[in-house]
Amino acid sequence: MSKVMIISEKPTAARKIAMALDEQGSPKETKKEKISYFECYRGGDSLVVVYALGHLYELKQTEKGWNYPKMDMEWVPKYEVDKKATNIKRIIQLISRLSKEIDRFVVATDYDIEGSLIGYLTLKYACKTDPNQAQRMLFSTLTKVELESAFDKVSPTLDFPMIEAGQVRHEIDWLYGINLTRALTLAIKNVSGWFKIVSTGRVQGPSLAFVAERNIDTNLFVPIPFWIINIIGSHDGHEFKIEYQKKRVICKSTADSIVSDLQDKYATVKSVRESIITQPPPVPFNLSGLQTEAYRLFRYKPSKTLAIAQKLYLDALISYPRTNSQKIPKTIDLKAILTGLSSMRSYKGIARQILREELKPVQGERDDPAHPAIHPTGERPTRRLTQTERKLFDLIVKRFFALFGKPSKKASMRVDLECGGHGLFLRGLRIIERGWMEYYSPYAYSKEVIIPVISEDAELQLIHVSADEQYTSPPARYNHSSLLKKLERENLGTKATRSSIIDSLKSRGYTIGDNFELSTLGYAVYETLKQYAPQVLSVDMTRHLELEMEAIQKGVRTRNEVLSKARRDLAIILDDFKSKEEMIGASLINGLRRYWREKEVIGPCPKCEDGTLMIIQSPKTGKRFIGCSNYRDKKCDQTFPLPQKGRIVPLQKECPFCGHQMIKIVSRRTWETCVNWTKCLGRAEDLKVLDKKRRRSGVNNGEWSV
* Cβ pair 457, 268 in contact under 8 A: yes
Would you call 623 helix, strand, or coil by DSSP?
A: coil
Query: What is the rounded CA–CA span in Å between residue 575 and residue 68?
Result: 10
Amino acid letter, 71: M
Distance between CA 260 and CA 467 in Å, rounded?
10
CB neighbour class for 200 (10 Å; exposed up to 12, middle 13-18, buried from 19): buried
Whether 206 and 542 have beta carbons less than 8 Å apart is answered as yes
User: How many Å apart are CA 266 and CA 259, to the nearest integer?
Assistant: 13
Pick from 652, 678, 643, 650: which is nearest to 664 by CA?
Answer: 650
Whether residue 255 contacts residue 466, with contact meaning beta carbons closer than 8 Å, is answered with no
CB within 8 Å of 153: residues ≥ 6 apart: none
Tell which residue, 173, 209, 294, has the closest CA to residue 535: 209
CB burial of residue 584 (10 Å; 0-12, 13-18, 19+): buried
Cβ-contact 495, 323 below 8 angstroms: yes
Q: Give dist(CA 501, CA 487) in Å, integer.
A: 10
**Dist CA 104 CA 119 (whole Å):** 14
What angle is formed at CA 90 by the lines to CA 84 and CA 96, rounded to 5 degrees? 135
CA distance linking residue 177 with residue 545, whole number of Å: 14
Whole-number Å distance between alpha carbons of 415 and 242: 10
Q: Are 361 and 403 in contact (CB under 8 A)?
A: yes
**Please, what is the Cα angle at 245 between 244 and 249, to 5 degrees?**
75
Active site residue 41: no
| β-pairing verdict for 104-107 and 408-419 | unpaired
- Residues 120, 167: Cα–Cα separation, whole Å: 10
Contact 639, 627 (CB under 8 A): yes
Q: Which of 111, 295, 320, 595 is catalytic?
A: 320
Using an 8 Å Cβ cutoff, are 439 and 404 in contact?
A: yes
Bridge partners (DSSP) of residue 624 are 617
Residues taking part in catalysis:
320
